Structure 1
Amino acid sequence: MRTHRPLLAVLATAVGLCLVAAGPATARPGADRHQDAVAAVDGLMTWWNPDSGDFDTTGWWNNANDLQALLDFWQAPGDTGGHDIEQLAAEIYDKNVGVKDGQFRNDYLDDTGWWGLAWLKAFDLTGDRRYLDTAIADANHMWAHHDSTCGGGIWWNYAHQYKNTITNELFIALSAGIHNRLDGDTTHLARAQDVWDWFQAKKLINGDDLVNDGLNTECVNTGRTATWTYNQGVILGGLVELHRATGDASALAQARRIAEAVIASPLLAPGGILSEPDDDATDGGADGPSFKGAFMRNLGALDRALPDRPYSAFIDRQADALRTLDRSGNFYGFHWNGPFDKADAARQHSALDALTAAVY
């Protein structure tokens, strides 16, 4: 994953915002949850650049997550607060479909996967077949970088330098999702299952039920402490899609183990608030601000797939913490347990992902 444009941090003071004082997190009624999400959309749209078809202040792959967050918000209960997200998706598509390698593909295969998932969601909401066709093109592009090195799996980039977790998780979610929307498909499901079997065989899920970042040059799980939240999250969505495709109960059982390990982790959820391993020491750089949003989006999908809705309280807690500890007007920062640091489109979509999950 790479940021293709410089990150232009937007300081709260530069936009004349007033920092909300930290306070206790308290549950909010459904109407207020929706109002919070609408306000977060208002904030995100301040960075929309209709000339470029991008959200300013963040990078190419983060822009896919900006779009995904808006589409998920559109699908959630309640109105869109006056935002025409269908038209926005069309504008993003039209202005970007021909750039880089076309069809939202480029030399980092995880970037391609993020865009493929966004267009799969756009197809769900609009029925526009070009979005599904792009998701298929993206999945096929990723599969072209699958080989027998390390026993299988998909490379991170064209240079074939690293077989990492996030690329393969995205592929599982995208290919299983395509199968679930493409009548008569067998190819995409077989590919998703192939990569999931490889993922398990390489023990990318460690003994603590957390997902490590990838394989070293000896094709062994690196065992790095960098168990980023997005590595834990994307596989949850992939396993929900696999379960939908196959009915295999073990997929949801594994997803639950990962989700529960995150919630119990003193590293990833200290004090019950989602965090990156180095949240307190950094501002997340160009990539990190998108990570927690990807986790929350997929945790929400898992929660809705389970009849007991086991993660609703955790989701509510993140939404409450964001509102009371990490908000400045309609804008949200990197540290969900506070204090607010600065605003940009990556931080904002992550907050929107959490707030939208709480609307359901």
Structure 2
Amino acid sequence: MIVSRSRVLRALVAGVATLAVGLVSVPPAEAEPGAGPGGAAGPTATARARVAADVLMSSYEPVKAWFPSSWWNSAVALQTIGDYMERTGDRRYLPQLDNTFEKAKGVFPAGYLSGDPLLGNFTSRAIDDSEWWALTWIQTYDLTKNPKYLAMAVTIAEYVEDYWDNTCGGGVWWDAERTYKNAVTNGLWIRLTAELHNRIPGDRHWLGRAQQGWNWFVGSGMINADGLVNDGLKTGTCQSNNETVWTYNQGLAIGAGLELWRATRNPELLTTVRRLADSAIGARGLVSNGILTESCDVLGKVCDDNQKQFKGIFMRYWMDLTDTTHNRRYTAFQTRQAATVWDNDRDAAGRLGLRWSGAASPTDPNVFDWRTQASALSALIADVPAQPPVRSLSASMSPAQPVVLSASGSATHVKLVARLQATAPAGQRIKAEVRASGPSGWTVSPRQATVTLYPKGNAVPAQAEVELDVTIPGGTADGRYPITVSATSGPLLSFTTQAEILVARTVNFDTGTAAELPWLWDAGGSQSHGPQNRFADGNAYFVYRFPFPSGTTAASTTLTIDNEYHVEVSGDGRRWTTVARETRHIHGGENKAVRTFDLTPHLGPDKAAYVRVSDSFPEEGWGGRVTHVSAAFTS
């Protein structure tokens, strides 16, 4: 039966035909066209989403075609990029979506892309993981209308369908071992099947599955008396386990009801959706001081890598809710999330963190990685008007290099690049006035420049660059100093970005912290799971650059390092010399040691030294891990 249904559905489907640093917005002089209700003006919201999306995609690993270290999370991050493209009209990242589709659709052993073996066509024993990929390919189909993506979603749905049975009266199992029926798997199932119905002409099968899934879900007991969605059902008794109300379960329930409503126009669905939404933002809901807050992302608690992305999933479907209902209360909540992310939740590298309120303490810092970036990006995307503005202007800066000063007191120069991006209808130009400034006593040249950009629509923003020379006076005290660049075009387009220059006389930092960022020349697909943790698995690597003073005669670096490391040094960042390589198969860090490497023979003509760490056994995926770095020099 499944084979014949597949043939019918495939016939139907076949017939359907760079890294920004410290970004800070400047409010426009007056209301801009295309502004969302109560939110940032349309061009500003679009520009914010663009720079945040670019930061996210800087972590995309093109060889394996994913975001390293996480399988289902990669699906959600790519779907978020799809949301960004659909919302803004930007189409620059379609090649990466297709790269993932073509490279990752095969069969893979456990540990290569997922902890589980991948069975082909983005399926595995983790049923919910498979569903996330199906939604990603439907999103890609919506962007491209290429039927291969919709066909893949059908293939995945057919696989998932075999895990629906009558245990507990219905529902899809969470895993192939059939151990748990839960909210996420079934929320995904309803949304997936309803989306298929809404895209396949003449379909009745998937509509029936969506309605069946919704009726079972709302009657399962997982929606508690407060209108909040508990995690799942107790095995054996089939009663709600009353476990944690995660934001993504609430969001998926809202999204599932909305997509099914589009298929049926049944008003009872919207009634239930509104109850779920009101409960989420009510007094007993999922907010703290008006900010969406996961139970694990408060001070004193820790979210795991999966939980880091839950709030973004909630906001994805909340955006659908505001687009559908135009409810002012829902829109106001959405606007507030975007504002707090932009104003409070960015670090010096323009990354978006776990706690949207920005809450942090010396012992419990905010967490920043590509997962938190993808999650918070969804809040910024939701603030972009459903009809995006045709004109926008954003600015970003190249990562500011740290400056190591000697005791001689001589001035030091740093080169920076300000990058502008703009959209406008073809034939229209955007003439931007660029102004640069630094701390008192510093010189930034040029201080003012005029740049003309020639956009050709929204699909590929036009780009221009302004090179800046920054002079740091001798005797400048150690610390962090901002270089600010603002770009303005007329009264309606304005954006400001900052690069933070670190002036130091010593090099000494823990990895995975804000102190590491100025020295991290190239992240190279490496990952960090918090303080004292940076690792490079497979084809990933990371490079530190130490710009020693011009009079340096000797230098060294000391790394606390373990696992299967490969350490290389260079004077120019292009030609590398191996100085250490782990030849044993070490997966548990038992070789952890403090190792010092002489950089003197490898200093470049400008006295800079580069240190690269990678994986000595890339096929195993237990590459070099560094927890602490220091460097010393004699001048």
Task: Please tell me whether the aligned partners of residues 20 and 51 of structure 2 are also in contact (alpha carbons under 8 angstroms).
Answer: no
Q: CA deviation at 1:55?
A: 1.3
Q: CA deviation at 1:267?
A: 5.2
> Quick one: structure 1 residues 171 and 308, their matched pair in 2 at CA, closer, same or farther if it must change by over 3 Å?
same
Q: 1:105 is matched with which residue: 117, 123, 135? A: 123
Check if 1:276 corresponds to 2:276.
Answer: no
Q: CA deviation at 1:27?
A: 5.0
Residue equivalent to 2:453: none
Q: 1:74 is matched with which residue: 65, 85, 90? A: 85
Residue equivalent to 1:8: none
Aligned partners of 1:113 and 1:310: how far apart in 2? 31
Q: Deviations over 1:188-245 (max 9, x none)?
A: 1111111111112212111101111000021001112x10000000111111110011
> Quick one: structure 1 residues 206 and 107, their matched pair in 2 at CA, closer, same or farther if it must change by over 3 Å?
same
Task: Please tell me whether the aligned partners of residues 292 and 311 of structure 2 are also in contact (alpha carbons under 8 angstroms).
Answer: yes
Residue equivalent to 2:508: none
Task: Please tell me whether the aligned partners of residues 322 and 337 of structure 1 are also in contact (alpha carbons under 8 angstroms).
Answer: yes
Q: CA deviation at 1:104?
A: 0.9
Check if 1:145 corresponds to 2:163.
Answer: yes
Counterpart of 1:303 in 2: which secondary structure? helix
Residue equivalent to 2:525: none
Q: CA deviation at 1:31?
A: 1.4
Aligned partners of 1:308 and 1:295: how far apart in 2? 17
Check if 1:350 corresponds to 2:375.
Answer: yes
Q: CA deviation at 1:308?
A: 3.7
Q: Deviations over 1:293-342 (max 9, x none)?
A: 00000010111111445411111100111111111132111111113623
TM-score under structure 1 length normalisation? 0.89
Q: 2:60 is matched with which residue: 41, 48, 69? A: 48
Within-5 A mapping of 1:167-316 = 167-217=185-235, 218-224=237-243, 226-266=244-284, 268-280=286-298, 281-308=300-327, 310-316=329-335
TM-score under structure 2 length normalisation? 0.51
Residue equivalent to 1:37: 49
Aligned partners of 1:157 and 1:48: how far apart in 2? 28
Task: Please tell me whether the aligned partners of residues 279 and 285 of structure 2 are also in contact (alpha carbons under 8 angstroms).
Answer: no
> Quick one: structure 1 residues 309 and 176, their matched pair in 2 at CA, closer, same or farther if it must change by over 3 Å?
farther
Counterpart of 2:58 in 1: which secondary structure? helix
Counterpart of 2:281 in 1: which secondary structure? helix
Task: Please tell me whether the aligned partners of residues 42 and 330 of structure 1 are also in contact (alpha carbons under 8 angstroms).
Answer: no
Aligned partners of 1:265 and 1:334: how far apart in 2? 22
Task: Please tell me whether the aligned partners of residues 22 and 350 of structure 2 are also in contact (alpha carbons under 8 angstroms).
Answer: no
Q: Deviations over 1:117-157 (max 9, x none)?
A: 11111111100111101111111111100111111101000
Aligned partners of 1:48 and 1:282: how far apart in 2? 28
> Quick one: structure 1 residues 72 and 27, their matched pair in 2 at CA, closer, same or farther if it must change by over 3 Å?
closer
Q: 2:137 is matched with which residue: 119, 137, 143? A: 119
Task: Please tell me whether the aligned partners of residues 173 and 238 of structure 1 are also in contact (alpha carbons under 8 angstroms).
Answer: yes
Aligned partners of 2:156 and 2:76: how far apart in 1? 16
Task: Please tell me whether the aligned partners of residues 303 and 310 of structure 1 are also in contact (alpha carbons under 8 angstroms).
Answer: no
Amino acid at match of 2:290: G
> Quick one: structure 1 residues 178 and 358, their matched pair in 2 at CA, closer, same or farther if it must change by over 3 Å?
same
Q: 2:355 is matched with which residue: 329, 332, 335? A: 335
Amino acid at match of 2:377: L
Where structure 2 has 5 or more consecutive residues not aligned to the other structure, the ranges are 1-18, 25-37, 108-117, 360-364, 386-635
Task: Please tell me whether the aligned partners of residues 120 and 135 of structure 1 are also in contact (alpha carbons under 8 angstroms).
Answer: yes
Percent of pairs identical after alignment? 38
Counterpart of 1:91 in 2: which secondary structure? helix
Check if 1:166 corresponds to 2:223.
Answer: no
Aligned partners of 1:209 and 1:117: how far apart in 2? 25
Aligned partners of 1:258 and 1:39: how far apart in 2? 32
Which of 41-50 and 341-350 deviates more?
Answer: 341-350
Aligned partners of 2:380 and 2:267: how far apart in 1? 28
Residue equivalent to 2:151: 133
Q: Deviations over 1:132-189 (max 9, x none)?
A: 0111111111110011111110100011110011000000000011000001111111
Amino acid at match of 1:70: I
> Quick one: structure 1 residues 102 and 309, their matched pair in 2 at CA, closer, same or farther if it must change by over 3 Å?
farther
Q: Deviations over 1:81-136 (max 9, x none)?
A: xx622211111101111131111111111101111111111111100111101111
Amino acid at match of 2:101: Y
Aligned partners of 2:313 and 2:225: how far apart in 1? 23
Aligned partners of 1:197 and 1:28: how far apart in 2? 38
Check if 1:321 corresponds to 2:340.
Answer: yes
Which of 58-67 and 174-183 deviates more?
Answer: 58-67
Q: Pick the structure with more strand per residue.
A: 2
Q: CA deviation at 1:266?
A: 4.8
Aligned partners of 1:350 and 1:72: how far apart in 2? 12
> RCO higher in 1 or 2 (8 Å CA, sep ≥ 6)?
1
Amino acid at match of 2:310: F
Aligned partners of 1:266 and 1:272: how far apart in 2? 12
Aligned partners of 1:16 and 1:52: how far apart in 2? 24
Task: Please tell me whether the aligned partners of residues 20 and 350 of structure 2 are also in contact (alpha carbons under 8 angstroms).
Answer: no
Where structure 1 has 5 or more consecutive residues not aligned to the other structure, the ranges are 1-14, 21-25
Amino acid at match of 2:352: Y
Residue equivalent to 2:71: 60
Residue equivalent to 1:95: 103
RMSD of aligned C-alpha atoms? 1.9
Aligned partners of 2:208 and 2:234: how far apart in 1? 26
> Quick one: structure 1 residues 127 and 264, their matched pair in 2 at CA, closer, same or farther if it must change by over 3 Å?
same
